[in-house]
Chains A and B, each alone.
Chain A
Amino acid sequence: MRDPYEILGVEKTASLDDIRKSYRKLAKKFHPDLNPGNKKAEEQFKEVSSAYDLLSDADKRARFDRGEIDATGAERPRQRFYKDFAEDSDHVYTDASGFEDFATGDDLFAEILRRQAHARANAPGPDMHYRLAVDFLDAVNGGTMRLGVPDGGTLEVKIPAGIADGQVLRLRGKGGPGRGSGKAGDALVEVAIKPHRFFTREGDDIHVELPITLSEAVLGGEVPVPTPTGPVMMRVPKNSNTGATLRLKGKGVRRHGGGHGDELVRLKVMLPPAPDPELEKFAAGWQAGKSYDPRRDMQP
């Protein structure tokens, strides 16, 4: 980058006021939005505004003067200029009414103006963005939900079975209205799945922790298990421990390509809520219960 003083055309001793004045003059000349279509002006404006950023900051200017920093890297990050959007057909600002007097009768120019007016009058509507909180089970099983929209109406949203958190549903034609014969925009609905009391979900699989009694754990047997589609009976094998996980095939979430995930049931052995004299008596006299070490794996 060139010397910032040179770019702004000021002396090394120039006051901040002089720098500002000079910048203002050059910016008026080179601002890209005041020079649409002029690539060179855009480059010059970048140079001028970077130089100004450097010299208008007393601290940076002092460090530059002492040679501690150079002028590179001072490039100003900048959002896109208005001119980059101004010629799009679908916004309200561009005004082509100022030269209708050129168009006489049925010539090419008149036709182009007509076509532009048609495009403006029939611009498509904007897409609208929404967020919808969906119950855990509705997300798994599918369902229909209502979504309040800003104009006071409601949108009916069909939730496909197996939808994932963060997925976006596109409702064609349910966005902002188009102008004239322009098509309406779409409604884009981002789905946020609410947590469930005892189910959790990992991909296509449902996880649940199932409390069982001591007798069920020791003796095994049939126990009812909740699944997203209702309770089913499951066989718990004899001598099932806390942490043992049983798989219910096909009781998980519907897969995108077909089929279902599984439900994984993690057993949790629960003692009765109140102390039980009979159980205490049994445990006290139970010799084998004192001879195994459940903490064997925790030895240092």
Chain B
Amino acid sequence: MTISRQEFLLRASLDEGTLEAWVAEEWLIPSGTAAEPAFTDADIARAALIRDLKHDLDVNDPGIGVILSLLDQVHGLRRTLADLLRDMRERDRGAPHTQDVPD
């Protein structure tokens, strides 16, 4: 489910210039095309996080980039760990584990 740029600005309470700056920094990566970008609920929550870091926690711009990059790695790690644990539990139960379907 995606929303338009206009709806995103409204729901994330952002102005045009801020959004452009954040996209240029690659803190936000909209899907869709450059002319018609599309945003998700995840983008709204991520924008709220960036605002918290900037205004509530007083983190400067280079710091925000570093934090986001490390957080993205933590989430990648957490997901991989979750996948790994699920696979191990399935193997323990003797259930056939999920097969990767080749293209």
Contact = CB atoms under 8 A, between A and B. Distances in A.
Identify the interface centre among A94, A122, A127: most chain B CB within 10 Å of its CB.
Answer: A94
Contacts of A37: 78
Interface stretch (A76-84, A139-147, A196-204, A226-234): A76-84
A67 interface: no
Nearest to B72: A95
Contacts of B1: 126-127
A36 B73 CA distance: 12
Given A80-B45, A150-B36, A151-B33, A36 B76 contact: no
Given A82-B49, A86-B42, A86-B71, A116 B29 contact: no
B29 A92 contact: yes
A181 interface: yes
Mostly helix, strand, loop or mixed at chain B's interface?
A: helix
A7 interface: no
B52 A31 contact: yes
Interface residues of A, number: 47
B6 interface: no
B71 A97 contact: no
A238 interface: no
B: contact size bracket: 35 or more
Interface string A81-118: 11111111101111111110000000011011111101
A93 B84 CA distance: 20
A96 B76 contact: yes
Nearest to B59: A28
A24 interface: yes
Nearest to A83: B75
Interface string B45-84: 1101100100011100000000111011111111110111
Given A27-B56, A115-B100, A82 B45 contact: yes
A33 interface: yes
A37 B82 CA distance: 12
Top 8 nearest A-B pairs (CB, nearest first) are A96-B76, A85-B42, A86-B75, A150-B36, A82-B45, A126-B2, A95-B72, A82-B49
